[in-house]
Amino acid sequence: MPGIVSPGFFGRRREGGQALPPGQYLVRDFPVLSAGPTPRVNLDTWEFRIVAETGEQRTWDWKAFRALPAVDVTVDLHCVTKWSKLGTAWRGVSVDVLVEGIETNAEYALVLSYGGYTTNLPLRDLLDGKAWLAFAYDGSDLTPEHGGPVRLLVPHLYLWKSAKWVRGIDLRTTEQRGFWEQLGYHDYGDPWLEQRYSED
C-alpha cells in the first residue's frame, strides 16, 4: 500500500489492461543498459563452458553450439530500471539441453560473461524450460549491444540476470554474488515480488 498520494498526479493507465509487475511501465522500444563498453566477441574464438562443482566441464565452440537444437520463445522482459517490454521473440538453446547428463549437487549458478560481468541465481531457475542461451532476437542475429553473439535469457527474473555476452555458467554448492548483486541488488530478483534491492 503506497504511503502518500501525489496531488495532481493522474498517471497513464495500462493499455489493454495488461498486468505489469509492480512499479513497472511499458515501453515499445528496446532500451540498452550495461555497466561498461560493449565487448566485441569474435565467433572464431567464442566458446561457452559449463563447469560443475565436481570439476566436470563441458565446452562448446560456435559451431558445436549452433548445432544444438534451438527453439523459438516469446517472452516478457522486466528491467529493474522500471521498463517492461512484452512479447519479445527470441531463438536460442534451452539451458536444459546444455546441462543434460551433468552430475551435480549444485544449488546455485554463477553466470559469467565476456567483459567480466557476472550474475548469480539458483540453478533451478535455469532449468525446466525457464532459461535459454539466445542468439537471435526478432528474427535477426543478436546485436552486440543487446548481448550478442549469445546472451542468457531468464525472463521470469529481472533482466540483469539475463547476462549479455555470456561465456559460461559455474554450478556451485554455495552462492557467490555477481556484479550487481555485490552492489546491493537482489540475489533472486523476482519482478512480481518487486525484489529490486537486497532486502526487498
Partner 1 sequence: MARAAVLGRLTWRVGTLVSFRDETAVARTVVFQIPDWPGHLAGQHVDVRLTAADGYSTERSYSIASAVDGDLVELTVERLPDGEVSPYLSQVLRVGDQIELRGPIGGWFVWDPEVDSPALLVGGGSGVVPLMAMVRTRAQLGSATPFRLLYSVRDPASVLYGPELDRLRSDPMLEVQYAFTRQTPAGYSRPPGRIDAAYLDEFGYSAALRPAVFVCGPTGFVETIADLLVAAGHNPHRVKTERFGPSGGSS
Residue 7 beta carbon to partner 1: minimum distance, rounded to whole angstroms: 6
In this chain, which of 59, 64, 82, 138 binds partner 1, going by CB under 8 A?
A: 82
Please say whether the beta carbons of 93 and 99 come within 8 A.
no
Contact range with partner 1 by CB under 8 A, out of 7-15, 62-70, 97-105, 148-156: 7-15
CB count, 10 Å around CB of 128? 10
Using the rule CB under 8 A, is 104 a contact of partner 1? no
Using the rule CB under 8 A, is 33 a contact of partner 1? yes
- Between strands 47-51 and 57-61, the pairing is antiparallel
Using the rule CB under 8 A, is 9 a contact of partner 1? yes
Please say whether the beta carbons of 190 and 156 come within 8 A.
yes
Task: Report the site for partner 1 in 115-174 (rule: CB under 8 A).
Answer: 115-116, 145
In this chain, which of 18, 32, 57, 71 binds partner 1, going by CB under 8 A?
A: 32
CA triplet 40, 139, 43: central angle to 5 degrees?
30
Using the rule CB under 8 A, is 37 a contact of partner 1? yes
| 149 prior amide bond cis, ω within 30 | yes
Question: 48 or 180: whose CB is closer to partner 1?
Answer: 180
Burial zone of 110 (CB within 10 Å; 0-12 exposed, 13-18 middle, 19+ buried)? buried
Using CB under 8 A, list all residues that contact partner 1. 2-13, 23-29, 31-39, 81-83, 115-116, 145, 179-180, 182-185, 196-200
